[in-house]
Amino acid sequence: MLSNREIFLLNTAQTSNSPRLTEIVSAEGIYLYGPNGEKYLDLVSGFAVNNIGHRHPKVIQAIKDQVDQHLHVTVYGEFVQTPQVKLAEKLVSLLPPNLNSVYFVNSGTEATEGAMKIAKKYTSRTEIIAAKKAYHGSTQGSLSLIGNDEYRRAYGPLLPDISYINFNSNDDLFKITEKTAAVILETVQGEAGMRVPDKAWLQAVRDRCNETGALLILDEIQTGFGRTGKMFAFEYFDVAPDILLVAKALGGGMPIGAFIADRGIMQVITSNPMLGHITTFGGHPVCAAAALASIDVILEEMLFESIESKAQLFRQHLQHPSIREVRGLGFMMCIQLDTFQQVESISKYCAENGVMIDWFLHCETALRIAPPLVIEKEEIIQACDILLKGIELFT
């Protein structure tokens, strides 16, 4: 009889030639568990998804309660469904006044696609500007925005009229013109290795968009819902976007995303043509119920308030001659090393010793630290001790 791993390799599409093949049978809090009693402290959070930890009781209860009411009933936007209504109301209450209309989708890349569409139609322009080493998703439109030709080349031709600027470069701001429909940026670049913008630069981008009539889209798919130490990372920079993208941690472990804008922008999809953007499962009632419960947990437990001190504890303990830099914002952290071989060996060592860690799409020489917000100080020290042993062995 074939094992689960063998069937996985045989029948499940693979995304690399060397999948990790760690089998997980359960998860709770900040821990993942394997079939033979293996226990892993999760420093990745399902890639910034499990901000409140795995299987939070309030999220589980919200899911069970909604399952007893109804599952899917019709395509998004046609029926009034209480989970969607309450979730949209909650999101709008947390955001600046201009972000008052929520369109629910299933994922971050779908949020990106929807935002590009409304930006083009609202402005009657076609050019979109993204940042080099950006990551906004892997569908064709989102892929067009990745500022790394290695990942685009095999799938061309992609969308036309895409230009790129360097993150934190004032010299590139002139590229934003009256032909630009939108500038899309991660508020903190994730897959580039946790690159934090200068406050003055992000404000200059906002000003340039105002001058030219371009819309500013901020991607908070990874940064949102407390991960950086605030509910949304743009709060650090005194900048508000015209369109906001959220997903990942929004669902508390369930798949849901959204693009959020002013009603005046969002209404462009309602006519000429009608149903200008549609989705069957966007805002699925079970996912929406889970999302509302997850946000309530973050707010009620004020989880983001402890992130700065916990991140500082990581920084205090991650001291080693081979660590070139520990950078990022809050629990979007990066340990910069020298080679991918070091990163790969240390990651394997950590997994073998009970700590799950990973690296970055556009920065393979660095390790990713993005634990659940609920990690305790003792667990941070435990994880750092294992990390440092791996760094000592393989650098």
* Token pair listed for 107: 């994922």
- Residue 380: band (very low, low, confident or very high) from pLDDT cuts 50, 70, 90: very high
Residues 104 and 217 in one domain: yes
Q: Please, what's the b/e burial string for 58-76 (b: 16 or more CB within 10 A of its CB; e: otherwise)? A: bbeebbeebeeeeeeeeeb
Q: Which of 300, 331, 354 is the last residue of a domain?
A: 300
Looking at the structure of the chain, the number of domains it has is 2
Q: Which of 265, 285, 300 is the last residue of a domain?
A: 300
Residues 15 and 105 in one domain: no
- Is residue 93's pLDDT more than 90? yes
Q: Please, are residues 276 and 117 in contact by the beta-carbon 8 Å criterion?
A: yes
- Nearest by Cα to 116 from 273, 276, 238: 276
Residues 81 and 223 in one domain: yes
Residues 202 and 244 in one domain: yes
**3-class secondary structure, 185:** strand
Across the chain, where does the E strand assignment appear? 26-28, 31-33, 39-42, 101-105, 127-131, 162-165, 180-186, 215-219, 243-246, 257-261, 325-329, 332-336, 355-356, 366-369
Q: Using CA atoms, how far apart are residues 385 and 365, in angstroms rounded to an integer?
A: 20
pLDDT tens string 301-344: 999 999 999 999 999 999 999 999 999 999 999 999 999 999 99
Q: Using CA atoms, how far apart are residues 127 and 183, in angstroms rounded to an integer?
A: 9
Residues 121, 136, 86, 254, Cα dihedral to 10°: 140
pLDDT reported for residue 257 = 98
Q: Which of 281, 300, 319 is the last residue of a domain?
A: 300
Residues 128 and 203 in one domain: yes
pLDDT tens string 177-191: 999 999 999 999 999
Residues 270 and 240 in one domain: yes
Residues 205 and 220 in one domain: yes
Q: What range does the domain containing 318 cover?
A: 4-55+302-394
* Token pair listed for 253: 């472990």
Complete DSSP assignment for 62-108: HHHHHHTT-S--SSTTSS--HHHHHHHHHHHHTS-TT--EEEEESSH
Residue with tokens 């001190």: 309
Residues 315 and 237 in one domain: no
Residues 279 and 323 in one domain: no
Residues 118, 220, 110, 174, Cα dihedral to 10°: 50
- Residue 21: band (very low, low, confident or very high) from pLDDT cuts 50, 70, 90: confident
Report residue 276: phi and psi, to 5°. -70, -15
Averaged confidence pLDDT in the chain:
96
Residues 376 and 245 in one domain: no
Q: Which helix (H) or strand (E) holds 316?
A: helix 307-317
Chain mean position to CA 79: 29
pLDDT tens string 111-157: 999 999 999 999 999 999 999 999 999 999 999 999 888 888 999 89
pLDDT reported for residue 5 = 80
Query: Which of the 8 DSSP states describes residue 132?
Result: B
Q: Which residues pair with 325 in a beta bridge?
A: 336
Residues 233 and 367 in one domain: no
Longest dimension (CA), the chain: 66
Q: What is the CATH number of the domain that holds 109?
A: 3.40.640.10
- Is residue 18's pLDDT more than 80? no
Residues 368 and 245 in one domain: no
pLDDT tens string 194-241: 999 999 999 999 999 999 999 999 999 999 999 999 999 999 999 999
Q: What is the mean pLDDT of residues 238-264?
A: 98
Q: What is the CATH number of the domain that holds 51?
A: 3.90.1150.10
- Is residue 19's pLDDT more than 90? no
pLDDT reported for residue 235 = 98
